[in-house]
C-alpha cells in the first residue's frame, strides 16, 4: 500500500488521470491525499470532482479557497466569472449533489501514525496540532449545518455585521481560521496574517515571514506538513518536513505528486498554458495571478 499526495489540481483532469496512471494508483489498497483547490482555473472541474468522489474512501482531501468559492457561486452567493472555468459544473445535472458532497469535506487531515498533516494553505504560528484540529472542526461543523450559507456569505460578501452572533457563533474566529487554512502565505513576526503578498520569499518585503518559518509548534510535535495554495514557490524553499505541492499546473506549470513512504516525487507537465475563455491565445501569468 502506498500513500500518494498531490498538489492543487485546479480542474486539470487529463493531467490528474495521467498522474494516477503513472504511479499505478490502486484505490483498493492505495491512499490518495489531495491538497485542495480541486476546481477552477483549469478546464475540467466537473470531471475532477466526479472522479474524486467515485474513488470513495481511498481519497482524503482538504478544502481550498477555490473549492469554497465554487460553493459560493453554486449556492448563489456570488456571481460566476468565466475565467474561473466552472460553468460546466454549474450546468451539470449532478452539480447540487457534488456541491453538497464537497461541503462535507474536511479542512484538515491528520494521520497520527504517519505523523502527517495536510492543509490547503497553512497552519497558524500560534497553533499546535490540537488547536488546529479544533479550529478545523469548527469550520466543518458550520459548513455541514444549516448555517453554511451564512458562513459562505461572511467570507465572500463580508456581511459579518449583518449576521447576528446567535446565528453564527464565534464568527470572527471562524473567518480567521478560514484565512489560515485556505488563504495564508505570509505572517508578520508577531504571527498576524498578511493576506496580500503572493511573491516568493526572496521578493517579499523583509518584515514578512512565510507561515512555515514561524510554525514551529506543529513541527516540534514531530509532524510533517503538506500544503498547496502557493504556486509561486514551485515546491521550493520550505524547511525540512514541510512540503509545498502546488506547482501551478493550471498556469502551465506541472502537477506534482509525492509518494509518502519514500518521498519520491512525480511530475506531469501541464498540457497547455492557462487558456483564457474566448481569447485565442495562451498566457503565462505573473506571480500576482497565482492563487
Q: Which domains does the chain have, with CATH numbers?
A: 3-289 (3.60.21.10)
252, three cell numbers: 502551465
| Mean pLDDT value across the chain | 89
Nearest in space to 215 (alpha carbons), one of 235, 177, 187: 187
Q: pLDDT value at position 277? A: 46
pLDDT in tens, 6-21: 999 999 999 999 999 9
Q: pLDDT value at position 285? A: 41
Whole-model pTM: value is 0.90
Dist CA 148 CA 141 (whole Å)? 9
Residue 165 reports pLDDT greater than 90:
no
112, three cell numbers: 497520527
Dist CA 118 CA 141 (whole Å)? 19
DSSP state of 17: H
Strands in 224-227's sheet, in edge-to-edge order, are 108-111, 116-119, 224-227, 242-244
Across the range 193-211, mean pLDDT stands at 91
Residue 222: which pLDDT band, with cuts at 50, 70 and 90? confident
**Buried (b) or exposed (e) across 122-161, using 16+ Cβ within 10 A?**
bbbbebbbeebeebbebbbebbeeebbebbbbbbeeeeee
Amino acid at each position: 500500500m502506498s500513500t500518494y499526495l498531490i498538489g492543487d489540481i485546479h480542474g486539470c483532469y487529463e493531467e490528474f488521470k495521467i498522474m494516477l496512471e503513472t504511479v499505478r494508483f490502486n484505490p483498493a489498497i492505495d491512499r490518495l491525499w489531495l491538497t485542495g483547490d480541486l476546481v477552477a482555473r483549469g478546464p475540467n472541474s466537473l470531471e475532477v470532482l466526479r472522479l474524486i468522489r467515485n474513488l470513495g474512501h481511498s481519497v482524503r482531501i482538504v478544502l481550498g479557497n477555490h473549492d469554497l468559492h465554487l460553493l459560493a457561486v453554486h449556492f448563489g452567493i456570488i456571481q460566476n466569472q468565466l475565467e474561473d472555468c466552472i460553468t460546466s459544473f454549474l450546468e451539470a445535472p449532478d452539480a447540487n449533489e457534488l456541491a453538497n458532497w464537497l461541503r462535507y469535506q474536511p479542512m484538515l487531515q491528520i494521520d497520527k501514525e504517519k505523523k502527517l498533516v495536510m492543509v490547503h494553505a497553512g497552519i497558524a504560528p500560534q497553533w499546535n496540532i490540537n488547536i488546529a484540529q479544533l479550529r478545523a472542526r469548527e469550520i466543518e461543523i458550520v459548513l455541514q449545518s444549516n448555517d453554511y450559507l451564512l458562513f459562505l456569505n461572511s467570507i465572500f460578501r463580508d456581511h459579518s455585521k449583518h449576521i447576528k452572533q446567535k446565528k453564527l457563533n464565534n464568527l470572527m474566529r471562524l473567518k480567521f481560521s478560514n484565512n489560515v487554512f485556505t488563504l495564508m502565505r505570509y505572517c508578520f513576526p508577531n504571527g498576524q496574517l498578511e493576506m496580500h503578498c503572493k511573491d516568493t520569499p526572496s521578493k517579499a518585503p523583509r518584515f514578512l515571514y512565510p507561515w512555515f518559518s514561524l510554525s514551529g509548534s506543529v513541527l516540534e510535535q514531530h509532524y510533517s506538513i503538506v500544503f498547496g495554495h502557493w504556486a509561486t514557490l514551485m515546491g521550493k524553499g520550505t524547511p525540512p518536513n514541510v512540503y509545498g505541492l502546488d506547482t501551478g499546473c493550471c498556469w502551465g506549470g506541472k502537477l506534482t505528486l509525492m509518494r509518502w513512504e519514500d518521498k519520491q516525487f512525480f511530475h506531469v507537465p501541464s498540457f497547455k498554458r492557462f487558456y483564457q475563455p474566448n481569447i485565442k491565445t495562451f498566457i503565462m501569468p505573473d506571480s500576482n495571478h497565482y492563487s
